[in-house]
Chain A
Amino acid sequence: MDYKSEIRKITTAEFFPAVVRMKAENWRLSQICAVSVEHGYEMSYSFCLDKEYRMVTLRLEIGEDEIVASITQIYPCAFIQENEAAELFGVKIEHIDPDYGDRLYRIDEATPFKKKE
């Protein structure tokens, strides 16, 4: 069994249909990771297919002010990790359900993980 994860780069337009397809194929959402890069963010959404132990990561590159749609309508369990990405990195994610409005973590500094100029 190979524990390497396949990373598929996708565009914003392909993102939502790709997540819907993962759900339809019974992939389990295993993690969401935000990374601050120059001029924006890299968002990684990893999914596992438990029977085959496969892991696929959808990689979305977005600009700093670009808005990304929440996937909580498809995977309700994404709410903690999406709130975390929004609060720590400042990723603009719309329609998270529930949206903690930057109060998931009780921290003093706004977007502490965001790349500083």
Chain B
Amino acid sequence: MAKRSIVPFGPQHPVLPEPVHLDLILEDETVVGAVPSIGFIHRGLEKLVEKRDFKQYVYIAERVCGICSCGHGLGYCEAVEQVMGIEVPDRARYLRTIWVEMSRVHSHLLWLGLLADAMGFESLYMESWRLREKILDMFDETTGGRIIHSVNCVGGVQKDMDSTMLQHILQAIDDIRGEMKPVVETFMQDYTVQSRLKGSGILTKEDATALGAAGPVLRASGISYDARRLGYAAYGDLTMEPITAAEGDSYARCKVRLKELFQSFDLIREAIGKIPDGPISVPVKGNPSGEFFMRIEQPRGEAIYYVKGSGTKYLDRFRMRTPTTSNIPALVEMLKGCQLADVPLLILTIDPCVSCTER
């Protein structure tokens, strides 16, 4: 008869850049259950909305997380703009799209490096992070910040890009795309990668819906849902179809993210080709009164931003439901039946962002 034991995993672990804890219930080496614990670094940033005026709060929203910073600023601003009925200038919509797609590339390359490192694939880890540096350099050149960009504001964006800069971005993404292709092919065709990821941590289509999964985790289980299709920012003017996979295993989740890298390049190229001239922001008058649930597609999946205002400069409530919060229940399901040695990799295939979860 199998021996049952409980193994604590985290909150500090070599594969976890941020603290999260799992009590793994094992039968011999096989995981039969897991109880997640979060909350080691909860900051209560949502509460600050009652003490910062709604325009200042953009800076807080952007600082919830260093990887999803641009998207958080965008989600918050779009939610407030919906409440206030503000129509953002077209150029600002396109600029927002270019920056959030650059963020997606930056996030996915960061994740690829972490996953490669966890597998002992050090050259791939260094190569992905070397390419990520180029994206960070582009952020630095276009926004003045590598991690926190502070480009979004209620009513538009704070910074513009001239045509020379846009051409420079086009050239840079072509270069990165060229360098990334062999990296991605090497990763996806590697025997060890395939043997460790294929068939592991399977999440069925039905479970993905029932467990409220989001983003690449949801799409890798065959569900074609990508919040960018809703058409916020400039996505309504651009061509995109959600990238999906049918297998629902760890390998499928990686495949979806890697294909999304190239999709982001296509979207940046298309947005630069279509960006109109004009103003980048409109003046904001009055205070928000009303409520709105805004959905956007962050690199890790659908994020929901709820704002509620009652006509004063302070909002009554701001709520941010981040994709990792949605993917933790799915992770618990994926872990069942896997071997203890596979747990670190399985956690990384949901690309957890604890900083967002502990907003």
A binding-site residues for B, Cβ under 8 Å: 1-5, 7, 26, 28-31, 33, 35-36, 44, 46, 48, 50-51, 53, 55, 57, 75-81, 88, 98, 100, 103-107, 112-113
**Complex partner residue of B212 from A3, A28, A113, CB under 8 angstroms:** A28
B308 with A31: CB separation less than 8 A:
no
Bound Cα distance from A12 to B302, whole angstroms: 29
A44-B306, A107-B39 as given contacts; A79 in contact with B209, CB under 8 Å? no
Smallest CB-CB A-B distances: 10 pairs: A105-B39, A77-B329, A3-B230, A31-B321, A50-B225, A77-B212, A105-B42, A5-B293, A33-B319, A77-B211
- Residue pairs across A and B with CB atoms within 8 Å: the count is 105
> Is A107 within 8 A of B44, CB to CB?
yes
B203-235 Cβ-contact flags toward A at 8 Å (1 or 0): 000000111101000100001110101111000
Question: Contacts A5-B293, A31-B304 hold; do A77 and B330 have CB atoms under 8 A apart?
Answer: yes
A97–B292 Cα distance when bound, in Å, is: 29
Q: Determine if B326 is an interface residue (Cβ-Cβ < 8 Å).
A: yes
A46 CB contacts on chain B under 8 angstroms? 293, 304
B292: A residues at CB distance < 8 A: 4-5
Output the nearest chain A residue to B242 by Cβ-Cβ distance. A50
Q: Interface residues, chain B, CB within 8 Å of chain A?
A: 35-40, 42, 44, 46-47, 82, 209-212, 214, 218, 223-225, 227, 229-232, 236, 291-295, 302, 304, 306, 308, 316-317, 319, 321, 325-326, 328-330, 358
- Given A53-B225, A75-B212, residue A107 in contact with residue B321 (CB < 8 A): no
Task: Check if B316 sits within 8 Å of A53, measured CB to CB.
Answer: no
